[in-house]
Amino acid sequence: MTQTLTGRTALVTGSTSGIGAATAHRLAAEGARVVVTGRDTARGDTVVKEICDNGGDAVFTASDLTATPDALRDFAREATDAAGGIIDLLVHNAAVCPAVDTLALSDADLERTLAVNIRAPHVLSAALAPAMTEQGRGAIVVVGSWMAEVGHPYVGLYSASKAAEAQLARSWAAEFGPRGVRVNTVAPGATRTPINDDSDDVIRRMTENLPAGRAGTPDDIAAAVAWLASDQAAYVYGATIAVDGGITATRAG
């Protein structure tokens, strides 16, 4: 694999499994030093070991994205130190998706979703973007969702939070872009991850009639994130790239 990210450092939130872990692996394979993060130290250490065993460079720093803004800023400083003094690439991957309707949504899930999906990305971007702008180079990638574009009876809050996050990315592109920091969104479709292992039939029905003819994989999403993070996407600002097998554009089936 061509190492398009040699000399860069990356922080990927929620990178102990699924899309986040695949993204950490891909960025490391392309030469970046990766800060893997999440709540589960054992899983994080496993991802780091896998990356290092494959010749990559990674380190784990624990995080709780439901924490207070001050605690998130402390985490940003810890991650920066672990990365070696600056983070060039920030990937907002972590998300909470309570699959319930509006009436069944608990107050706790409401607060947790807003904290992880909106507040944490906002605080971390505000904490880490200044160092990128100071050096005149950096990239922020939001992992959004195709559900930000459609109405669905059971994931209304999640969909709204992902739409909000994509709008933050567009605003950050306008704010930080003139100072060298590109910000974009990757919007996955129905993607097979450990979180939805028990929903195989649902995923199959959603994707069997798509132009792609299959569900997405974490590696599909990671490849798009890595491209947006690289200089190959130097003229891409504020875009939302659908990596969804055609589900948003065609509504096949």
Distance, in Å, from the CA atom of 232 to the CA atom of 216, rounded to the nearest integer, reads 23
Question: Catalytic site residues?
Answer: 145, 158, 162
Question: For the residues 83-112, what does the mean pLDDT come to?
Answer: 96
Per-residue pLDDT band at 253 (split at 50, 70, 90): very low
Q: What average pLDDT score do residues 17-43 get? A: 98
21: left (phi over 0), alpha (psi -120 to 50) or beta: alpha
Find the angle CA(19)-CA(129)-CA(143) to the nearest 5 degrees: 20
Segment 105-156, tens digit of pLDDT: 999 999 999 999 999 999 999 999 999 999 999 999 999 999 999 988 889 9
Average pLDDT value for residue range 154-171: 96
What is the average pLDDT across 24-52?
Answer: 98
Query: What are the pLDDT digits (tens) for 46-82?
Result: 999 999 999 999 999 999 999 999 999 999 999 999 9
Q: Among the residues of 199-245, which ranges form H helices?
A: 200-207, 218-229
Q: Is the pLDDT of residue 185 over 50?
A: yes
Q: Tell me the two tokens of residue 192.
A: 């097979």
Report angle CA 203, 161, 105 to the nearest 5 degrees.
75
Give the per-residue pLDDT at 192.
Answer: 78
Instruction: State pLDDT tens for residues 187-203.
Output: 999 887 766 666 677 77
The fold of 9-243 is: Rossmann fold (3.40.50)
How much is the mean pLDDT over the chain?
A: 94
Question: What does the domain layout of the chain look like in residue ranges?
Answer: 9-243
Question: What confidence score (pLDDT) does residue 196 get?
Answer: 62
The pLDDT of residue 242 is 97
Mean predicted confidence (pLDDT) in 28-40? 98
Report H helices in 15-106: 18-29, 41-53, 69-83
* pLDDT for position 219: 97
Q: Structure pTM? A: 0.95
**Residue 191: which H helix or E strand, with range?**
none
For residues 172-177, average pLDDT: 98
Do 147 and 36 form a contact (C-beta atoms < 8 A)? no
Residue type, 192: R
pLDDT at 206 over 90: no
